[in-house]
Structure 1
Protein backbone atom coordinates (compact mmCIF):
# COMPACT_ATOMS: atom_id res chain seq x y z
CA UNK A 1 0.00 0.00 0.00
CA UNK A 2 1.32 3.44 -0.90
CA UNK A 3 1.91 6.06 1.77
CA UNK A 4 -0.05 9.27 1.38
CA UNK A 5 1.33 12.51 2.81
CA UNK A 6 -1.03 15.36 3.56
CA UNK A 7 -0.05 18.89 4.53
CA UNK A 8 -2.47 20.38 7.07
CA UNK A 9 -2.11 24.06 7.93
CA UNK A 10 -1.83 24.92 11.64
CA UNK A 11 -5.06 26.76 12.46
CA UNK A 12 -4.55 27.10 16.24
CA UNK A 13 -7.83 28.10 17.89
CA UNK A 14 -9.50 28.68 14.52
CA UNK A 15 -9.79 24.92 13.99
CA UNK A 16 -12.73 24.63 16.40
CA UNK A 17 -14.51 27.52 14.70
CA UNK A 18 -13.97 25.90 11.29
CA UNK A 19 -15.26 22.55 12.56
CA UNK A 20 -18.35 24.26 14.01
CA UNK A 21 -19.01 25.93 10.65
CA UNK A 22 -18.62 22.60 8.85
CA UNK A 23 -21.01 20.98 11.34
CA UNK A 24 -23.63 23.69 10.74
CA UNK A 25 -23.37 23.13 6.99
CA UNK A 26 -23.68 19.35 7.37
CA UNK A 27 -26.73 19.79 9.63
CA UNK A 28 -28.30 22.04 6.97
CA UNK A 29 -27.73 19.35 4.33
CA UNK A 30 -29.36 16.82 6.66
CA UNK A 31 -32.39 19.06 7.13
CA UNK A 32 -32.73 19.46 3.35
CA UNK A 33 -32.65 15.69 3.08
CA UNK A 34 -35.35 15.39 5.78
CA UNK A 35 -37.54 17.78 3.78
CA UNK A 36 -37.32 15.38 0.85
CA UNK A 37 -35.42 17.70 -1.51
CA UNK A 38 -31.71 17.06 -0.98
CA UNK A 39 -30.81 17.90 -4.56
CA UNK A 40 -27.72 16.20 -5.92
CA UNK A 41 -25.70 15.69 -2.75
CA UNK A 42 -22.44 13.75 -3.09
CA UNK A 43 -22.57 10.20 -1.72
CA UNK A 44 -20.47 11.21 1.30
CA UNK A 45 -23.23 13.61 2.43
CA UNK A 46 -26.27 11.40 1.79
CA UNK A 47 -27.81 9.98 4.94
CA UNK A 48 -25.79 12.36 7.12
CA UNK A 49 -22.71 10.16 6.67
CA UNK A 50 -20.25 13.06 6.92
CA UNK A 51 -22.00 14.48 10.00
CA UNK A 52 -21.85 11.07 11.70
CA UNK A 53 -18.17 10.83 10.83
CA UNK A 54 -17.55 14.26 12.34
CA UNK A 55 -19.35 13.23 15.52
CA UNK A 56 -17.52 9.92 15.81
CA UNK A 57 -14.04 11.27 15.13
CA UNK A 58 -11.13 10.78 17.52
CA UNK A 59 -11.52 14.26 19.01
CA UNK A 60 -15.24 13.97 19.69
CA UNK A 61 -16.31 13.58 23.28
CA UNK A 62 -20.03 12.89 23.80
CA UNK A 63 -21.92 15.45 25.84
CA UNK A 64 -22.11 14.55 29.50
CA UNK A 65 -18.77 12.72 29.44
CA UNK A 66 -15.90 13.94 31.50
CA UNK A 67 -12.28 13.86 30.41
Structure 2
Protein backbone atom coordinates (compact mmCIF):
# COMPACT_ATOMS: atom_id res chain seq x y z
CA UNK A 1 0.00 0.00 0.00
CA UNK A 2 2.76 2.43 0.96
CA UNK A 3 4.70 1.65 -2.22
CA UNK A 4 1.64 2.47 -4.35
CA UNK A 5 1.29 5.86 -2.69
CA UNK A 6 5.01 6.52 -3.07
CA UNK A 7 4.89 5.55 -6.73
CA UNK A 8 2.06 7.99 -7.39
CA UNK A 9 3.95 10.73 -5.55
CA UNK A 10 7.06 9.97 -7.63
CA UNK A 11 5.08 10.32 -10.85
CA UNK A 12 3.58 13.62 -9.68
CA UNK A 13 7.00 14.92 -8.64
CA UNK A 14 8.52 13.97 -12.00
CA UNK A 15 5.68 15.69 -13.84
CA UNK A 16 6.26 18.78 -11.70
CA UNK A 17 9.94 18.77 -12.71
CA UNK A 18 9.00 18.50 -16.38
CA UNK A 19 6.43 21.29 -15.97
CA UNK A 20 8.87 23.70 -14.34
CA UNK A 21 11.55 22.83 -16.88
CA UNK A 22 9.06 23.40 -19.71
CA UNK A 23 8.11 26.79 -18.32
CA UNK A 24 11.76 27.78 -18.11
CA UNK A 25 12.61 26.59 -21.59
CA UNK A 26 9.47 28.17 -23.04
CA UNK A 27 10.25 31.51 -21.48
CA UNK A 28 13.87 31.28 -22.57
CA UNK A 29 12.86 30.42 -26.13
CA UNK A 30 10.43 33.31 -26.23
CA UNK A 31 13.12 35.73 -25.14
CA UNK A 32 10.68 38.02 -23.41
CA UNK A 33 11.29 40.20 -20.37
CA UNK A 34 9.34 37.67 -18.33
CA UNK A 35 12.13 35.12 -18.78
CA UNK A 36 14.78 37.58 -17.61
CA UNK A 37 12.81 38.32 -14.47
CA UNK A 38 11.81 34.76 -13.59
CA UNK A 39 14.54 32.45 -14.92
CA UNK A 40 16.45 32.35 -11.63
CA UNK A 41 13.30 31.50 -9.65
CA UNK A 42 12.32 28.79 -12.14
CA UNK A 43 15.80 27.26 -11.83
CA UNK A 44 15.41 27.19 -8.04
CA UNK A 45 11.98 25.58 -8.33
CA UNK A 46 13.35 22.99 -10.75
CA UNK A 47 16.18 22.09 -8.40
CA UNK A 48 13.74 21.85 -5.48
CA UNK A 49 11.29 19.63 -7.38
CA UNK A 50 14.16 17.46 -8.62
CA UNK A 51 15.45 17.02 -5.07
CA UNK A 52 11.98 16.02 -3.90
CA UNK A 53 11.63 13.54 -6.78
CA UNK A 54 15.04 11.98 -6.11
CA UNK A 55 14.27 11.77 -2.39
CA UNK A 56 11.00 10.00 -3.09
CA UNK A 57 12.72 7.58 -5.46
CA UNK A 58 15.34 6.74 -2.83
CA UNK A 59 12.61 6.28 -0.22
CA UNK A 60 10.72 4.00 -2.62
CA UNK A 61 13.81 1.84 -3.16
CA UNK A 62 14.46 1.60 0.58
CA UNK A 63 10.86 0.62 1.31
CA UNK A 64 10.83 -1.97 -1.50
CA UNK A 65 14.16 -3.41 -0.34
CA UNK A 66 12.86 -3.83 3.21
CA UNK A 67 9.85 -5.78 2.03
CA UNK A 68 7.29 -2.97 2.11
TM-score scaled by structure 2? 0.48
The alignment's TM-score, normalised by the length of structure 1, stands at 0.49
